[in-house]
Amino acid sequence: ALGELGGELAGQYLPLPSSSSCMARPAGMLPEESQMLESKGFLFKADEPDGRGIFAVDALAAAVLVNNGSHVQILVNQDGTSQEASSLLLESFRSALEGALHQDGHAMIAQG
């Protein structure tokens, strides 16, 4: 569902370093990708990296953590923008993800 998002929400899935569960990237993300995500506060560590990763929006204004405690966690990190603009981006992401999941016959349960 994440790969179907477009516009300001377009991005790519980066499996955690040393993850071998993503056929497109069998060794996980590259070290420079890991450093970039860590500098933005998006990188998380996992004892078992397989099946876990980060969908990073191309502009690095937001990311979705996949299988980190919760199944999906959306983070917004827009330097120098208002809280209102960040909230709008978060809502756009949530709405687009919810719509894509619904089309695939799934549902999203939001937790505050």
Domain ranges in the chain are: 2-104
Residue closest to 34 by CA, chosen among 23, 45, 46, 43: 43
Which has the closest alpha carbon to 74: 84, 83, 87?
A: 87
Q: Give the global pTM.
A: 0.82
pLDDT tens digit at each of 112 positions of the chain: 788 888 888 999 999 988 888 899 988 999 999 999 999 889 888 877 888 899 999 888 889 888 887 688 888 887 767 888 888 988 988 898 888 888 888 777 766 5
Q: May I ask the CATH architecture of the domain 2-104?
A: 2-Layer Sandwich (3.30)
